[in-house]
Amino acid sequence: MSTYIAPVRDMRFVLEELAGLADVTALPGCEECTPDLVESILDEAARFAAGVLDPINASGDRQGAACKDGVVTAADGFADAYRLFVETGWNAMPCDPEYGGQGLPTLVATAVQEMWKSANMAFALCPMLTSGAIAAIAHHASDELKRTYLPKMVEGTWTGTMNLTEPQAGSDLAAVRTRAVPQADGSYRIAGTKIFITWGEHDMAENIVHLVLARLPDAPAGVKGISLFVVPKFLVNADGSLGARNDLVCASIEHKMGIHGSPTAVMAFGEHDGAIGYLVGEENKGLSYMFTMMNHARVNVGLEGVGIAERAYQHALAYARERVQGTPLGAAPAERRPILHHPDVRRMLMDMKSRTEAMRALAYWVAGRMDLAHAHPDAAVRAANQAVVDFLTPVVKGWSTEASIEITSTGIQVHGGVGFIEETGACQYFRDARITTIYEGTTGIQANDLVGRKLAREKNPGATARALAAEMRACAGRLSASTDPSLSAIGARLAAAVAAFEEAAGWFVARYESDTRAAAAGAVPFLKLTGTVVGGWLMARAAEIAQAKLDAGSDDDFLRGKLATAEYFAQHQLPLAAAWREAITAGAPAVLALADTAF
């Protein structure tokens, strides 16, 4: 088994050169986040990830969480690791100082969270869901609920969950049936069953704060009749201490393909008198409130794709360095060397490495825009950055997770036959990655959101896509005019890919309202096209910056590596943009051609 080593050098390059760390740390409230502090944070997080989380990843996968009589026990080592995680302040890092958080920028937190997801995705899901619940409560709950729950949740002593899905509902939240009956004291009695609740029950924290979607007795039908409630595992006394056990129980945990260390619970609320819950915000606005949590989670799930791809790459590379088999092409007949010397193995590793770097660049770049949208003093700048964040959130989620499945599968292929054997560890990354395209909305849901609300139904339809294309086209023009043949080739390929993106985006804007089914048929290809082109643009920028540093006298294999991965991405990934454009603009009739009986 390999050991996870956080790619701190690449993380710092992306933070500083691509994602605009200097601009972010200049924002009001971020001034104390100096380069030295960021470096220290990354180094300490890398040590925690490698020394605490990675060692219990494979064992946690083998053992899994256990459920008996409604009590869920985490895999060995998880509770101790979580206690240390909380004691060392990692849970509070990105949170508001008003509630005990450290207030670090989202951009810095994103790099740290990638390490948790690489080292132990099952573990990382617990603080990820807590941070999303914190965001929803902080944005929408009353001051009383904030005072009661946020300090302990920010600290990490209490964890949080998201309770949306029900057995009959799936992703169709209009079908939610969980009921909430108002009480004389202002609380509500909650009754219903929720499924697929990540870390819905466990023994790692003192309390679990469930955010639950439910309907009031007189609520309108559909999504307009959903309200959001805080429903704690243990009720909280007036002095902040824990009181009686609430009327909720884990009925079972799922037996899953992967992430075995993360219990996925079936939660039963109100089997006796009704679980006590507290309304968040206003009645019947719960879905919009929950989207605060879901959008937060979608970016973080996209980051899971980055993290698990990085881990699979490192594992495959370690194997390729040590596995001796066959004679490399061009070598002496008796010369046997590690499989890293075989061209096809190098192709697979370059594919894994370059795509992971592009995914990281996209995730971090969007995280930087999130900070600017939140804290920039100029309202126009905030609005422009928020528009980009809204547009690219489904891309970060969908493109990165879809790619992670392919990358982790390639990691198995690098191992050959032993990759299919669990003991090598390569299988776990593929199994763990598989859920990421489904979490927080499938790729199809993300893609329909992208081409619908974020593109064709934007206030000025297509405006954000056009602005993004203009920025990418300017980069392509600079590189195409370069005297360096590698940079000019990258620029030419980027220019062609941006043209494909613009044509496809224009197609959706022109046809979405008149032929929505055709647009939906091309939505996932457009999501992949967008991720590939924006990722390729960021890789091209990385090449431009790396070459400038080399020209200035740097003698650095890392910078030469950035040039190589950018060139590979331009040659092997950017040409796919033209194929996806064709699938979008001409492929819908074939998608919709068959009669139902012909399938």
Whether 408 is covered by a domain: the verdict is no
Measure Cα distances from 555 to 275, 354, 422, 494, 547 in Å.
64, 21, 41, 27, 11
Q: How many CA atoms lie within 13 A of 92 on its CB side?
A: 20
Write down the catalytic residue from 166, 440, 502, 544. 440
pTM: 0.96
Between strands 188-198 and 179-182, the pairing is antiparallel
β-pair partners for 160:
209
What b/e string do you get for 205-232 counting C-beta neighbours within 10 Å, with b at 16 or more? bebbbbbbbbbbeebeeebebbbbbbbb
Residues 6+ apart with CB under 8 A from 113: 124, 128, 300, 303, 307
User: Residue 214: what are its φ and ψ, rounded to 5°?
Assistant: -155, 170
Whether 546 is covered by a domain: the verdict is yes
Q: If DSSP codes are grouped into helix, strand and coil, which group holds residue 230?
A: strand
Q: What is the pLDDT of residue 356?
A: 98
Q: What is the pLDDT of residue 178?
A: 96
Measure Cα distances from 533 to 159, 377, 491, 523, 570 in Å.
37, 30, 12, 15, 9
What letter does residue 229 receive in the DSSP assignment?
E
C-alpha 117/C-alpha 123 separation (Å) is 8
Measured in residues, the chain has a length of 599
User: Residue 196: what are its φ and ψ, rounded to 5°?
Assistant: 60, 45
Letter for the amino acid at 398? Answer: G
Number of domains in the chain: 1
C-alpha 410/C-alpha 316 separation (Å) is 9
Question: Is 599 exposed, middle or buried (CB count within 10 Å of its CB: 0-12, 13-18, 19+)?
Answer: exposed
Whether 503 is covered by a domain: the verdict is yes
Q: Indicate if the alpha-carbon torsion angle 82, 88, 93, 98 is positive or negative.
A: positive
Letter for the amino acid at 246? Answer: N
Counting runs of H as helices and runs of E as strands, what totals does the chain give? 20, 12
C-alpha 242/C-alpha 203 separation (Å) is 15
The list of the chain residues with pLDDT below 70 reads: none
Whether 108 is covered by a domain: the verdict is no
Q: Which two tokens mark 350?
A: 């370059």
Residues 6+ apart with CB under 8 A from 599: none
C-alpha 393/C-alpha 380 separation (Å) is 20
User: Residue 67: what are its φ and ψ, rounded to 5°?
Assistant: -125, 125
Whether 461 is covered by a domain: the verdict is yes
Q: Alpha-carbon dihedral of residues 40, 46, 47, 48, nearest 10 degrees?
A: 110
C-alpha 257/C-alpha 334 separation (Å) is 43
Whether 61 is covered by a domain: the verdict is no
C-alpha 374/C-alpha 370 separation (Å) is 6
Angle of the 121-140 helix axis to the 286-322 helix axis, nearest 10: 160
Please write the tens of the pLDDT for every residue from 322-354: 999 888 787 777 778 899 999 999 999 999 999
Task: Report CA 208 to chain centroid distance, whole Å.
Answer: 22
Whether 475 is covered by a domain: the verdict is yes
Domain that holds residue 560: 443-591
Letter for the amino acid at 572? Answer: H
- Report yes or no: 301 and 215 within 8 Å, Cβ to Cβ: no
β-pair partners for 227:
214
Strands (E), 116-186: 158-163, 179-182
Whether 19 is covered by a domain: the verdict is no
Return mean pLDDT, the chain.
96
Letter for the amino acid at 125? Answer: L
282 is catalytic: no
